[in-house]
Chain A
Amino acid sequence: MPAYKTGVRGRPKKTFAYMIKSRRVTRGYSQRQLAALLGIDHTYVSHWENGRRCPNVGILHDLVEVLEYNDKEVRWLLRTLAEGKV
């Protein structure tokens, strides 16, 4: 486990998975609702939030729009993905 600060249930805070889950919960979407908005299967969302997979660039754009990330947050998300902090 990297030495990042941990959030709820011991999940690392500075990871892509944590950013996605925390924003989804804040916006009041369930995994199924978010998946429906993105036009994908809900298991994909579960995989992202558990750090098993990461979205491709096309879906990432839709995700950014649905979860209303600002430019700074998007750059941060991309940096975490590039650094492998999934």
Chain B
Amino acid sequence: MMIRKIISAVFVGACGLAVVVALIPLAFVLFFVLSQGLQSLNLDFFLHNPRPVGETGGGMANAIVGTLILTTLAAAMAVPIGILSGVYLSEYRGSRFASAVRFAADTLNGVPSIVIGVFAYAVVVLPLGHFSTLAGGFALGVMMIPIIARTTEELLLLVPHTLREGALALGATRGRAVFTVIVPAALPGIITGVVLALARIAGETAPLLFTSFNNAFFSTSLTQPIASITVQVFTYAISPYEDWHRQAWAGALVLVAIVLICSMAARIAAARIVRIRGL
């Protein structure tokens, strides 16, 4: 009996250790990003564009704006397709078509981001003839669609049957019932899902490498290459210039901050909804 208790205690300890082991790299990464990034974060970083090699200073203003534009484009493309696909998946769960779409969504979720970049290159960059913001937004949008679709599907399934039945009893068509009652009931959760998906793709680099490429200047044009925080961090990280390394850490800090803020905002919003709705 004693032996079994010891084994059990050791096991419990091992699991606790696993948690600690996993959190160590997290602490490490956050520590370095914070300490190195904060040093280099100043007003210049947000307001100025990159300076030529060898000149210190300059910032990532164009890259920050670029990431904003790219994620907005991606959302514009992914939110309608994602949400409506999610609606279909939840409304017509049993049908073979829905199963096929669900399978496709899960597959797309698992496709490596570099492969999506190759796809976007073939489909947008080559026909257009050059790298562009549109291509980058397209690649990111393709990545967002399955995330939003599955999240929407799951949230819609959580909406109580009573709401649907009430709407139908009052004579609403299916479409009416879905769009005026069920979706609004799940809307806060859906928005949370969209925000989390945005945070996730804002941090993507690989699909942008040969779609939106990069731009040394400030640009908002959809048909020209555009800078992005992630690609800029990559370029700076593999360079030999100390000044660029510092800026890379600052860029990484901005990325982590975006992720953290979106994550926490989503959780707070979800908690409030649960409280308000009593779900």
The finding on whether chains A and B are genuine partners in a shared complex, rather than unrelated, reads: no
Residues of A within 8 A of B (CB): none
